[in-house]
Chains A and B, each alone.
Chain A
């Protein structure tokens, strides 16, 4: 197993791991974004809340999510470790450096951008993931008439008007013509959080950081794993700019803005 430790202690081996985890996180962003689009559905969050139940109970998704958490931690801490190591390769700094003459500022700022994203992930998971798993998210009761399709929703409260909880994430049953769904209302939590302008600002800055990070990171990951081809590299570079640098961050940013101005 000597060859394995040699590989993963070499500069290229370590870069490979950062690239592979980074590209995996890019695919996660696409999944996360497409799921979150359900926030825009005009159903008082029913689709989004059901999707949340699916994402937190499906065994396959749960397994992938543990790989995801590990990837985030590995990518972040290996990245910081390599940035420190790379800095030590030049113990005496130049008095003048004209960086903009030869490279894009994003490629020289991956550590800073990544740190902003890491802080954001902590804030973001504290806001929603932690609240959903361990906090006190109220339940909502959706009533859908199966004949007319009419949908109404009310917060789940007891006789005394206090929020009621059930000891699982959702409950579904049929009552006459009506399908009743009782589910944890993460949608309300999202709506509530994004009335806070400071939080919206933090989200917008973080989405900009993700855009700049991925504008360099996505295509750079392919270069690291050895994919550089005159036919495909230009495609990867334009995906880096348009999809990961602009479209995905803008689409994510539209969510806090939507709820803030709702």
Chain B
């Protein structure tokens, strides 16, 4: 089963939130290995948000896969390994019986984590670009809908088919992860330049194809 989940952090907001590094806060969110990674890094705050986004994208994938009601138990998500190559990170994470590989990209604007996948693509919008994108979806008779447990998907109103979609919004950014093979070819062609970016094989993580992340 392919899993989908993503999380974006707007670094321009996150970079001033030093209260997150209080020991009481760290102990509620992270396990010993994770706290060690944060406190021993060159930028503890950046590491805090990186680890948080890894956990959040893992949680989203798990919640969707198990169709679970929302829970808040960040310590049940365990980051087992963490490999940084330049500003890219590959981490292996477990939540209950799931093991996932999460990729993270760090730029001067954002920290973005997503479940490594061969079939899901990622796209990062600025908020105003995202509203244009949503308008285009609506024009094509698609809608972004949420289940009772809060899990989003793209609904094709013509044939009532649902495609999984993971959305994350923070500050000036909205990131989506989506399966391009599920969305109809009609919308693919129409919006090709707009929403779809080609997969780029990534030599650093050769087991996976990593989509290119870009703004327009």
Q: Do A and B bind each other?
A: no
